[in-house]
Amino acid sequence: MDQNPITMTLTTAGIATGTVLLAPVAAPAMHGIAGIAVVGLGVYASGSAVMNATTFLNEKANELLKDGAAVAGLINNFIFTKPKPKVQQKEIPFKW
């Protein structure tokens, strides 16, 4: 062993002193770091779920629009574009 016993003792004492001084801060710091990790994981998971749902719905909507184009055309031509009968508007007398 080539190390000096006094140096080893001082090193051990320094590490012990640092540990004692940081001990009151260590537990809250670890809880804070763990909380940040949990919140970050939650944000990542919800973002991934939203992206997957949006992609899925977009693909299904495109499929429906391609497959249902003929049906949509029939609906637009026969139901929504029927001309309404014109009704004569009554003349409103204007008084000065």
21-58 residue pLDDT tens: 877 877 788 888 888 888 988 899 999 999 998 888 88
Q: What is the pLDDT of residue 73?
A: 66
- Give the span between the Cα atoms of 53 and 7, in whole angstroms: 62
- Give the span between the Cα atoms of 93 and 90, in whole angstroms: 9
- Give the span between the Cα atoms of 61 and 67, in whole angstroms: 10
- Confirm whether 65 is domain-assigned: yes
What's this model's pTM, rounded to 2 decimal places?
A: 0.40
- Confirm whether 37 is domain-assigned: no
Q: What is the pLDDT of residue 31?
A: 84
- Confirm whether 54 is domain-assigned: yes
* Structural domains in the chain (count): 1
Domain extent for 59: 45-75
Task: Report how far apart, in Å, the C-alpha atoms of 5 and of each of 2, 12, 20, 41, 47 are.
Answer: 9, 10, 22, 47, 56
Q: What percent of the chain has pLDDT over 90?
A: 3
Could you report the per-residue pLDDT of 9-18, keeping only the tens digit for each?
888 898 888 8
- Confirm whether 11 is domain-assigned: no
